[in-house]
Structure 1
Amino acid sequence: MLVDTHLHLIDQSRLGYPWLDGAPALNRDFLYAEYARDAQKAGVTDVLHMEVDVAPEQIAGEIAFVREQSKKPGSLIRGAISACRPEEEGFEALLERALADPFVRGFRRILHTVDDDISQGALFRQNVRRLAGTRLTFDICMFPRQQPLALALATLAPDVTFILDHCGVPDIKGGDFDAWKRGISELAARPNLMAKVSGIVAYADGDTWTAATLRPYVEHIIDCFGWERVVWGSDWPVCTLGGGLLAWIAATHAVLSGCSNDEREALFWRNADRIWNLGLSVGR
């Protein structure tokens, strides 16, 4: 089994994505059927949809849209990570709705494209701490320069399960490995922080990268977090900026070629099954 914990769907006929105006390479529809053609060929069996930073008033609409996709015959989608705005008063009501909806598996607030002060605000931190003791996770997407902010969040909410997206978004193309590496080691010291090995081909040189290019980043993440605290994700369609879904899956298998079956299964599906209670080990 291969669980993709980080799929984005874009349907501009249904939802608004303000950020797409600044991302011309991604400014088109990316629908489930296009993703599924390659995902099923490559052995993806189950999928979690990751919020796509829709307009704030459409957060509930995005969940409804993804739920529709999950109900289509043969759909691989098993749940959704919802967008949220913990810096706003309405978060508590959003949390209550999510807790009543088993399709919602967690939250994410995009933080690498907003002012750093947002994640340091008292209301933001108070609301994130509300996830303690619930089944809901909180994904962190931050640049390497923001690693201290991610560390602060994980430290201030020790009973919340955080997921560090995209290996911490390393600048692979720029080659700034050492600064990223030091910060990852510090983040991994927080036992409530997991790491997502997802879509890092988007941060490499799309014309020249190889599996060997990605290997040091994947190996350092796993060395730091251990096999029980890592999950896999595609970050489709963002991964199309660096070769696409099939290339990223092939590179993942190449990097893990010397690993045991138990280790691969931990990354590919067992940890995701445990963290989000997907029920994959039952009846398979």
Structure 2
Amino acid sequence: MIIDTHLHLIDRSALRYPWLAGVPPLNRDFSYEEYAAEAQRVGVERVLHMEVDVDPADIEAETARVDGLSRQAGSMLVGAIASCRPEDTNFPAYLERQRANPFVKGFRRVLHVVPDDLSEGAVFRENVKRLGGTGLTFDLVVLPHQIPKAIALADLAPDVQFVLDHCGVPDIKGGAEHPWRAHMSEIARRPNVMAKISGVVAYADPGNWTVGSLRPYVEHTIAAFGWDRVVWGSDWPVCTLGGGLSTWVAATHALLSGCSIAERDRLLSGNARKLWRLE
């Protein structure tokens, strides 16, 4: 069984996505039905929705919309990683509203498209600390040079469980491993950080990547974090920039060909089930 921990759904008729205008291939609707038709063919059985950086005014509407989809017969959706703005003083009230909804499993604030110092603000850091003891996770999406910022957050909030998205967003197309490699080894030393094996096909050369070009980045991530601290995500529809869901699933199985069944199962489903308490 595969648990996909990173599905994006886009519905431009219901929500606003300011960033989509700058990414023409993704500037259309991507529905749950379109995703599910392919996902069920490749072995995905449960799914967490990942926030899509909607307009701040639409954040709670996005979560409510996905929650509604999860209630449809046969839905694979079992939870959501909701958007948030820890830099805002109204975050505590927002957090309390989301804690009342068991569908919300964690939060993410996109950091790789904002100033580097956003996560260093006192309000941001105090609000992230509020997640300690709630059981709610915080996804980190940062560029390689920003990983030290993520390390600082993990050190400041040791009681919060962080998830580093997309293997730390390495520049696979450019073949760059430094400072990414050293930074990944360093952040992996924090026991409150897990890594998500996701997104890498979008950072490779779209028409030229192979399993071999992905392997150094995926294998270093797994080696640094260990099999008990990695989860898998499709990053659909962003993965369509690098071949699509079926291609990424096939590449994942090829990358895992030398591991044990137990190791593969922990990455593809077991760790996610335990982390987010999925039935």
The interval holding the TM-score normalised by the smaller chain is over 0.9
**1:81 partner letter:** I
CA contact (8 A) 2:169 2:199 kept: no
Runs of 4+ in 1 over 4 A off after TM superposition: none
Deviation per CA, 1:149-206: give whole Å up to 9, x if none. Answer: 0110111101100000000000000111132111100000110000000121000011
Aligned residue number for residue 282 of structure 1: none
How much has 1:213 moved relative to structure 2? 1.0
Separation (CA, whole Å) in 2 of partners of 1:254 and 1:272 = 21
Aligned residue number for residue 125 of structure 1: 125
Corresponding residue SS for 1:15: coil
Aligned residue number for residue 266 of structure 2: 266
Corresponding residue SS for 2:40: helix
Aligned residue number for residue 254 of structure 1: 254
Aligned residues: 279
CA contact (8 A) 2:86 2:123 kept: yes
What is the percentage of aligned positions where both structures have the same residue? 63
How much has 1:7 moved relative to structure 2? 0.1
CA contact (8 A) 2:107 2:137 kept: yes
Separation (CA, whole Å) in 2 of partners of 1:165 and 1:206 = 20
Separation (CA, whole Å) in 2 of partners of 1:241 and 1:113 = 19
Aligned residue number for residue 201 of structure 2: 201
**1:194 partner letter:** M
Alignment of 1:145 with 2:109, yes or no, is no
**1:162 partner letter:** F
Structure 2: gaps spanning 5 or more residues? none
Aligned residue number for residue 220 of structure 1: 220
Separation (CA, whole Å) in 1 of partners of 2:113 and 2:153 = 17
**2:255 partner letter:** V
Provide the alpha-carbon RMSD of the alignment: 0.7
Alignment of 1:27 with 2:27, yes or no, is yes
Corresponding residue SS for 1:128: helix
Separation (CA, whole Å) in 2 of partners of 1:44 and 1:257 = 18
Deviation per CA, 1:69-109: give whole Å up to 9, x if none. Answer: 11122111000000000000111011101111100000000
Task: Map 1:38-53 onto structure 2 (within 5 A).
Answer: 38-53=38-53
Aligned residue number for residue 242 of structure 2: 242
Separation (CA, whole Å) in 2 of partners of 1:117 and 1:221 = 25
Aligned residue number for residue 179 of structure 1: 179
CA contact (8 A) 1:199 1:248 kept: no
